[in-house]
Amino acid sequence: MAPPVILQNVGNNRERKANAEQAQSTMTIRVSRDEDIRSQIGKTRYFDLVDHDKVTSFRVPKQLSVNLFKEIVAEELGIPVQFQRFWLWARRQNGTYRPFQVLTSSEENQPVGAKLIKGNGAKLDLFIESHNSADLSFVPLPSKVIGDILLFIKLYQPESDELSYVGKLLVKSSSKPAEVVTRLNEMAGYALDEKIDLYEIS
């Protein structure tokens, strides 16, 4: 019989090998929501949207399809699958991080590991777009076509020197400010004809 120390070493090696194999076959997906942005903007975040280390994360097999992952998200976050739309994040020239590309239906049939970004390790950051009515029930997602972009609206009130997040808006990239100002006023709780100053942080 081998000495106990050798048996222990063999067991440790097997455990390390199993852990390494599991690490190679699994990945972490960090899912941010409106609630995360709202809780951080003006408190710990200003120019960026969210700290991905402080959002809900999932450890899943890399071969799990996005569609099956959406079922896990539905169970964990309470957002029905039909009301979910996932966006990939990208870092911009000014160093900020924004959702920039929606996952297509064909991409949702692919393994989540296929969306890993080189240099980001085994982590994938996603933003989940969902919409609620006044009574907070989920409503169908607005149609998205090529050229539509997702804007994240922050409200700065100079009187109180406060910054807050008021929501997101799906618009055409060719839209002019005058075409969305009424909707922005509504989101901010202002009169629909209120004059406001708009700034884009690009």
Residue % of the chain over a pLDDT of 90: 47
Q: Are 15 and 7 in contact (CB under 8 A)?
A: no
Phi then psi for residue 23, to 5 deg, are -65, -35
Strand positions, DSSP E, 2-94? 26-32, 56-61, 85-91
Q: Are 96 and 201 in contact (CB under 8 A)?
A: yes
Cα end-to-end span (Å), the chain: 68
In the structure, what pLDDT confidence band is assigned to residue 173 with cuts at 50, 70 and 90? confident
> For the ranges 8-12, 18-22, 33-37, 133-137, which has the lowest average pLDDT?
18-22
* pLDDT confidence of residue 75: 96
Token reading at 81: 């699958």
* pLDDT confidence of residue 73: 97
Q: What is the CATH number of domain 27-188?
A: 3.10.20.90
* pLDDT confidence of residue 145: 85
How far apart (Å, rounded) are the C-alpha atoms in residues 17 and 115? 26
The domain segmentation of the chain, as residue ranges, is 27-188
* pLDDT confidence of residue 95: 76
* pLDDT confidence of residue 118: 59
The stretch 123-145 carries a mean pLDDT of 90
Of 69 and 25, the structure prediction assigns the larger pLDDT to: 69
In terms of DSSP bridges, do strands 26-32 and 123-129 run parallel, antiparallel, or are they unpaired?
parallel
38-94 pLDDT, tens digit per residue, is: 999 988 777 789 999 999 999 999 999 999 999 999 999 999 999 999 999 988 877
* pLDDT confidence of residue 124: 94
Model's pTM, two decimal places?
A: 0.82
Q: Is the pLDDT of residue 101 over 60?
A: yes
